[in-house]
Structure 1
Amino acid sequence: MSGEMICVVEITAHGGPEVLKPATREIAAPEHGEVQIALSYAGVNRPDALQRAGLYNPPKGTSDLPGLEGAGTVCAVGDGVSGIDVGDKVCALLPGGGYAERVNTPAAHCLPIPDGMSEKQAACLPETFFTVWSNVFMRGGLKAGERFLVHGGSSGIGTTAIQLANAFGALAFATAGSDEKCAACVELGAEKAINYREEDFVEVLRAEGGADVILDMVGGPYIQRNLKALADDGRLVQIAFLQGMKAELNLVHLMTRRLTMTGSTLRPQSDLAKARIADDLCREVWPLLAAGRVAPVMDQEFALEDASAAHARMESSAHIGKIVLKI
């Protein structure tokens, strides 16, 4: 496969969605431990838009093309790979480069497409499921019977988090910005969805006894409010900061109520750490997907060359669930 020319979408300059342009590039053969996937679909995620805007640099040594997840058919296998063969249908967490016809990625970050699921749906699994599993369950330690709050409940992360919390016996709560989005959260299994334009999530959660785990991507002014909304011994997990990365905190709450603040970003983690998350997902979550107990919520499909329109859709915040590119 070395030397083959493929269609891609590049970030031609930092800016709005219009800077995404189709192009052609040469793709190398997969390296040791890697596979090459002929992609059918790629997922569109917030980090793609942040990278496009110049606010999120890809880790050193990774592709400058956006795209952190996709699904398709393995078309080449590098040295040292076992258990995956040419012709296998997989979805994968990608180090970048997903806005393309083909992509190389570590074989250990690939997962089989769950039984009965389309490639379009499977392309929406890796980024959100790796993020939710590692932060809510591994880092946040959510357990059956606990109360869980996710902000942005109608997003790809939010819809995944609600379903997984439910599947593992927790009580899910969510915030969203419209009655329509709140209704979607409840339909997915949220005990209550809070329209943050009309209600105070702190008051709602405190009336319920407080949240044991909160997953937040808002940051800024939400951080202190999240601490107030936690139950004693509660855990706040931060995965983004759409309203700012700085906040003034009263740490008395942290100390007297034994609260925990933590967080992570997925992309810079080691290949081994991501492989361990993949193993967990394959064992704990993939059977739920195959059984239909959990499924990605789909919003809209765009052609690869229309990636700019996909980004505009995502940044409008009108979407519910995942946006995909058909390749």
Structure 2
Amino acid sequence: MVEAQAANLPDTMRAIGFEAPGGPDVLALEDVALPEVGPEDVLIRVAYAGVNRPDCIQRAGHYPPPPGASPILGLEVSGEVVAVGGEVPGELLGQTVAALTPGGGYAEYCTAPWNHCLPVPEGMDLKSAAALPETLFTVWHNVFERGMARDGERLLVHGGTSGIGTMAIMLAKAFDLEVIVTCGDEAKCEAARQVGADLAINYKEDDFVEVVKAHTGGKGVNIVLDMVSGDYVPRNLQCLAEDGRHVTIAVLGGAKAEIFMPMVMMRRLTLTGSTLRPRSDAFKAALADEIAEHAWPLFTSGELAPVMDETFPLAEAAAAHARMEAGEHIGKIVLQVADD
């Protein structure tokens, strides 16, 4: 039940859809009905939508949306709240927010649970705001909660210039961690250093295990944030210090790994991981509250800003996906949905 809404909302909207899974070229603009607003939802007139790797995986047919979620791609947006459900605080109507969504972001309007929204203050760039929720929620949970990061520890991040990688560098440095990243070429290594990485390793030229050991004097890192999995896992474990934590958030290099378990036992290592999208609304709301207190002010104040790659019009979502899958991007790719 919609409790309140802005005047003159349309019945239909433009959105990106696809008839069958496939490559980026299956994406096309279509007209669909406005999403229904649940009792705890807000309806957002989308200004920008972030593009993330899970969007590409869903488009390819390998990551179906959770039950009840929109089949439309898009896990993060920024824009104005134009309608609120009956159980939503009324003062949210008319506010500008950045939101973590269960889907539906590649559209002119998108719903999200009201307590998965973060306020965008006047003066904060809406394009940057849309590039934050998915990576911010993911990095905060996996580095600081599951990874139990503490001041003065060392973090190793693979894919240092990805959206996740650049967010991990910024947040870790803001909380006094030393950050080591791996990248695929020297230009990306330099970009990672510019973001704040203490050491960037070109994994195509150097063995990151040996470089990490040399850099740390054999002590290793306390946390590995791993998006590769596969044969990287045993190598990651070699990089870990005693009582180290290995946190997996993607399996881009393969879903299976072979582990020498006596090493895990002798060095008291912790192996964990997570996926964000299937978690409950209550979990994400609690995560949003923690982020709002500890991390969001770093961005609203301008102390930190997401690293931005290219912006594409909504109608060119296929080109945005092609750029992400080519691996050439540095930072976040976003779609511009509303006209400036």
> Shorter-normalised TM-score: what interval?
over 0.9
Structure 2 partner of 1:287:
297
Aligned equivalents of 1:185 and 1:244: distance in 2? 25
**Which amino acid in structure 1 is aligned with residue 276 of structure 2?**
L
Aligned equivalents of 1:240 and 1:304: distance in 2? 26
Which residue of the other structure, out of 293, 312, 315, is the alignment partner of 2:325? 315
SS in 2 for 1:24: strand
Aligned equivalents of 2:109 and 2:244: distance in 1? 43
Q: CA RMSD in A?
A: 1.2
Which residue of the other structure, out of 290, 309, 312, is the alignment partner of 1:299? 309
The answer on whether the counterparts of 1:51 and 1:58 sit within 8 Å (CA) in structure 2 is yes
The structural deviation recorded for 1:85 is: 2.2
Aligned equivalents of 2:290 and 2:18: distance in 1? 33
The answer on whether the counterparts of 1:219 and 1:242 sit within 8 Å (CA) in structure 2 is yes
Q: How does 1:1-327 map to 2 (within 5 A)?
A: 4-82=11-89, 84-114=91-121, 116-207=123-214, 208=216, 209-327=219-337
**Which amino acid in structure 2 is aligned with residue 215 of structure 1?**
L
The answer on whether the counterparts of 1:114 and 1:289 sit within 8 Å (CA) in structure 2 is no
Aligned equivalents of 1:11 and 1:225: distance in 2? 38
The answer on whether the counterparts of 1:115 and 1:290 sit within 8 Å (CA) in structure 2 is no
**Which amino acid in structure 1 is aligned with residue 267 of structure 2?**
R
The alpha-carbon distance between structure 1 residues 221 and 297, as it changes in their structure 2 partners (threshold 3 A), is same
**Which amino acid in structure 2 is aligned with residue 256 of structure 1?**
M
Unaligned runs of 5+ in 1: none
The structural deviation recorded for 1:114 is: 4.8
How much identity, in percent, do the aligned residues show? Answer: 53
**Which amino acid in structure 2 is aligned with residue 118 of structure 1?**
D
What TM-score, normalized by structure 1, do the two folds share? 0.98
Aligned equivalents of 2:111 and 2:91: distance in 1? 14
Aligned equivalents of 1:255 and 1:115: distance in 2? 51
The structural deviation recorded for 1:83 is: 6.3
**Which amino acid in structure 2 is aligned with residue 251 of structure 1?**
M
The answer on whether the counterparts of 1:43 and 1:124 sit within 8 Å (CA) in structure 2 is yes
Aligned equivalents of 1:256 and 1:220: distance in 2? 22
Aligned equivalents of 1:283 and 1:82: distance in 2? 19
The structural deviation recorded for 1:168 is: 0.3
| Bigger shift: residues 200-209 or 262-271 | 200-209
| Bigger shift: residues 23-32 or 165-174 | 23-32
Unaligned runs of 5+ in 2: none
The structural deviation recorded for 1:309 is: 0.3
What TM-score, normalized by structure 2, do the two folds share? 0.94
| Bigger shift: residues 239-248 or 78-87 | 78-87
The answer on whether the counterparts of 1:64 and 1:97 sit within 8 Å (CA) in structure 2 is yes
Aligned equivalents of 2:121 and 2:247: distance in 1? 28
